[in-house]
Structure 1
Amino acid sequence: MTAPVALSARLSRLGAASVLTAAAVAVPSLLPGAAQQAEAATLAAKALGVAASKKGSPYQWGATGPNRFDCSGLTLYSFKQAGRKLPRTAAAQYGSTRHVSAATRRVGDLVFFHSGSSASSVYHVGIYAGGGKIWHAPKTGARVRLERIWTRSVWYGRV
């Protein structure tokens, strides 16, 4: 009996009240990695929400929150609030993430701006918000904001 047929037979025997419980037990065994992907998506969504909640907070070089941020301070703070620790600098954060392509980027991935071909050329980081936009702490005199990605010189990393 194939897995979907077996699942269907089990569900018909269990009745409607137990469908959700059965799915919670059966789906992870049918889709290896599904639980990990769901956990990563939840983490990223939480971090993105934290970053968005800091809209309007002033930029301050070296600041890690909760009221002032530099770029990597915002990402560090956002993921810490979501339950994951990141290194302090943008370059170190790049080194600690799983690198993904632009085609496979997801909301909540980190977006690393670079000026060369090595990790040491990373100079800025934000959190991908979808639609080609990021939440970030841009520069002195600016505030945390949602902004369109302005260059193609970016790499993506998944926490």
Structure 2
Amino acid sequence: MFSLRHLVIATSTALVLTGTLAGGTNAAPPPIPSPIVAVGGQQEVPTFSVDQALSSITKARTAATVTVGTTTGEIDSQIARIGTALEDADIASMQVSEDFALAEDTASGPAPQLAAIAGTSLASLSSAAPSVDLKQAAAAVADIRTASEAAQAALGKKRTELIKESAKLRNTSVAAETKRIDKARATANAAAMRKTLRYSETSVPDLAPATTPGTALEDTTATLAAGMTTTGAGTAAMAVPSAISISTKAPSRAVRINKSVAWAKKVASNNKYKYRYGSTGPTYFDCSGYTGKAFASAGKKLQRTSSQQYKAAPAKVKLSKLTKGDLVFWSSNGGRSFYHVALYIGGGKIAHARNPSAGISVTKLNYAGMRNIYKYGGRY
């Protein structure tokens, strides 16, 4: 039976964001009916739904309601919790947006495309396309994004309050205290990266690639052979050596990767380019739209979403063996789907479209402390 597990469809016309999400009272928002996917008359709850996202964001926002601690140790713990909550709110929004991007791409495509995404055969489809209401889903996802941004704003405000109090207790300036906290977080992230890479090197098995990336395009020669000509009734004429070698070389993988990385760096360094959910350019990008455009700039077409880009990668490489041009992925469910993708540009750094507030930038691979980073990257 055909199953599409990432389609996010809200059964209500819109989310009602009240209480903590609307910044008003502390009352919890009303429950949201579980989104469903309808394909060929069958309905199934997706792996990550709108109500799950709302629950995660609501829980994350509670970190902004804590009473400021009275000791430096208490405040340090509260600031660390704020950092995790900020990531939780962002992840929930990215996951729903990623699922919707896949749904939108799938619902508008032909039946063979649906079959390819679902990993099943065309013969098993009971209808040519799923029965979906993308406008309804888009409205629900937009409300989740609004809720996430409101939660992150509240958490950011609380973080500032905590840093000010910590500076007072330590008898230092807010700027100095902010620098100390950021440095401590960066140190912890670096330690997490070293631990993850050691684990990757010693405990994560190599995966054999389905094909060698790029070899079919990198050195292709087409040979046209005309054979022998004849004159008269079966009289053999002189053999005419008419085999002609025509070079149809595409750029080598190294050249293509260098072009993609150069484009990614240029965009990340220019404030003209912004992050926007569901966008693929030319000025606004989401994470997979950004990596897709980076590859397209060098003549390589990628699929639309993070999950599709991972699945389609000809080779999967463990983190300890990343090289320039590989894609790095983040998953909150052990690799069943992916909510974020970045381009590894070498030197332990990645270029990625992060979120509306952070925008498009180059960061260290451990920008989120290696949290939810997947054990394999994708190589094209």
Structure 1 and Structure 2 fold alike (TM over 0.5): yes
Which moved further from structure 2: 78-87 or 101-110? 101-110
Using the aligned pairs only, state the percent identity: 37
Structure 2 residue aligned with 1:130: 346
User: C-alpha separation between the residues in 1 aligned to 2:289 and 2:341?
Assistant: 9
C-alpha change, 1:36 and 1:103, in structure 2 (3 Å) is farther
Instruction: State the match for 1:46 in structure 2.
Output: 259
Partner of 1:84: 300
SS in structure 2 opposite 1:54? helix
Structure-to-structure mapping, 1:6-155, within 5 angstroms:
36=218, 39-55=252-268, 56=271, 57-97=273-313, 98-120=315-337, 122-150=338-366, 151=370, 153-154=373-374, 155=376
After superposition, the CA RMSD in angstroms is: 2.0
Q: What's the CA shift for 1:141?
A: 2.3
| 1:58–1:142 contact (8 Å) kept in structure 2 | no
The residue identity in structure 2 corresponding to 1:116 is: N
Are the equivalent residues in 2 in contact too, given 1:111–1:127 (CA < 8 A)?
yes
Deviation at 1:104, TM superposition (A): 2.2
Larger proportion of strand: 1
Larger radius of gyration: 2
Determine if the alignment matches structure 1 residue 156 to structure 2 residue 377: yes
The Cα of 1:36 is off from its aligned counterpart by 4.4
Query: Structure 2 CA distance, aligned partners of 1:103 and 1:41?
Result: 20
What stretches of structure 2 of length at least 5 have no aligned partner? 1-214, 220-250
What stretches of structure 1 of length at least 5 have no aligned partner? 1-32
| CA deviation string 1:107-149 (max 9, x = no partner) | 11111112232341x1100100112210000012222110112
Contact 1:64 1:70 in 2 (8 A): yes
Task: Indicate if the aligned counterparts of 1:102 and 1:156 stay in contact, CA closer than 8 A.
Answer: yes
Partner of 1:24: none
Q: Deviations over 1:49-92 (max 9, x none)?
A: 11111123210001111211110000011111110110100010
Instruction: Judge conservation of contact 1:64–1:73 (CA < 8 Å) in 2.
Output: yes
1:5: which partner in 2? none
Match of 1:27 in 2: none
Q: Distance in 1 between matches of 2:284 and 2:311?
A: 24
TM-score of the aligned structures, taking structure 1 as reference length = 0.71
Give the number of the structure with larger relative contact order, counting CA–CA contacts within 8 Å between residues 6 or more apart. Answer: 1
| Equivalences, count | 125
Of stretches 147-156 and 92-101 in structure 1, the one that deviates more from structure 2 is: 147-156
Please report how far the alpha carbon of residue 156 of structure 1 lies from its aligned counterpart in structure 2 after TM superposition: 0.8
